[in-house]
Amino acid sequence: MNTKNNKVKREFLFTQNDFLFIKELVYNVSGIHLSEVKQDMVYSRLAKRLRALNFKSFKEYCQYLESNFDKEVGNTINSITTNLTHFFREVHHFDTIKNTIVPELVRTQPRGKRIRIWSAGCSTGEEPYSTAMSLVDSIPNISQWDVEILATDLDTNVVEHCKAGVYEKRRIEPIDERNVKRWFKPIEGKRERVIIDDELKKYITFKHLNLMDKWSFAGPFDIIFCRNVVIYFDKPTQQKLFARYHEMLAPGGYLFLGHSEQLGAYQKYFDVLGKTTFRKK
């Protein structure tokens, strides 16, 4: 089927100018770079908003965005962003926490050490919850430690999902049976859903954050997760972000990236410890 026929069959008129308007807006607000090949994705994601607002074309929606920017831009960004993850995704990072980072902290730091971890782009929460489980598993006296995991995301909807800690049973399949029994409780009347125990939630603070904005926290962090996030930014934006992460990391702190991401020119400020695992020099 050719592109012309695809456009004819679309429910809403979506022109190149409409796409360019949305592309520029998304970039200016979030730093996310939408290439030309993302046009169909933009159409399908935002079509739901047009239906909800009873618009007949993307031109109407773009005009609405201009005149109701503060009210609607959050919905636009939430629609565009992708939230695809699972518990213990890229398990080698969590093995590094349990087998390398935590033993090092226990060996070199006094009792009651402060541990700070940032999950930047936490999506629906599987990453920070997996991190919390890894810490509890590997620190026998964790109650004597000052542990905090900051979990942030651009999408306000997924931040609320994270806070609730409710997941479909099929989503927790990658988790070993011991941790499932320990941390996940059934929900009365909802047999296919479970909720995370408050005892695990207490280690995590969830916040909405646009990485392009000023950060309202100071660090330093022992570990920063930024996995499958920078692939949505252009190269100059990536380098600016890596510079800010470098500044926020404690000396010798760790940065985890996604499986297809690299530091580029900022590599010189980090040692490579393994696949997408970097340590601040």
* pLDDT tens digits along 205-228: 999 999 999 999 988 999 999 999
Write down the mean pLDDT value for the chain. Answer: 90
User: What's the rounded mean pLDDT across residues 70-90?
Assistant: 86
Tokens of 151: 């979990």
Residue 6 has pLDDT above 60, yes or no: no
Helix (H, G, I), strand (E, B) or coil at 278: strand
- pLDDT over threshold 60, residue 129: yes
- Say what the pLDDT of residue 43 is: 95
Q: Which residues contact 74 (CB under 8 A, 6 or more apart)?
A: 156
CA quadruple 4, 9, 13, 19: dihedral sign: negative
Give dist(CA 117, CA 219) in Å, integer: 9
Mean pLDDT of 27-48: 90
Q: What is the DSSP letter of 32?
A: B
How much is the pLDDT for 250? Answer: 93
pLDDT digits (tens, 9 = 90+) for 146-196: 999 999 999 988 899 899 999 999 889 889 999 999 999 999 878 889 999
Q: Which of 130, 120, 133 minimizes the C-alpha distance to 199?
A: 133
DSSP annotation of 83 reads -
Residue 150's DSSP bridge partners are: 118, 205
Q: Give the pLDDT confidence score for residue 23 in this predicted structure.
A: 93
Query: Is it the case that residue 16 has pLDDT exceeding 90?
Result: yes
Domain boundaries, the chain: 3-80, 91-280
User: What topology does CATH give the domain 91-280?
Assistant: Rossmann fold (3.40.50)
pLDDT band at 31 (very low <50, low <70, confident <90, very high): confident
Q: In this predicted structure, which of 1-5, 124-128, 163-167 has the lowest mean pLDDT?
A: 1-5
Q: Which of 50-59, 83-92, 202-211, 225-234 is least confident?
A: 83-92
The predicted structure's pLDDT at residue 1? 39
Q: Indicate whether 260 pLDDT > 90.
A: no
Digit-coded pLDDT (tens) for 98-118? 999 999 888 887 666 889 999
Burial 58-94 (b: 16+ CB within 10 A, else e): bbbbbebbeeeeeebbbbbbbbbbebebbbbbbeebb
Give 246's pLDDT tier (boundaries 50, 70, 90): very high
Domains 3-80 and 91-280 share a fold: no
* pTM of structure: 0.83
* Nearest CA among 79, 76, 75, 84 for reference residue 24: 76
Which pLDDT band, with edges at 50, 70 and 90, does 74 fall under?
confident
- Across 1-25, b (16+ Cβ under 10 Å) vs e yields eeeeeeeeeeebebeeebbebbbeb
Architecture of the domain whose range is 3-80:
Orthogonal Bundle (1.10)
Write down the pLDDT at residue 105: 85
Q: Which residues are catalytically annotated?
A: 45, 153
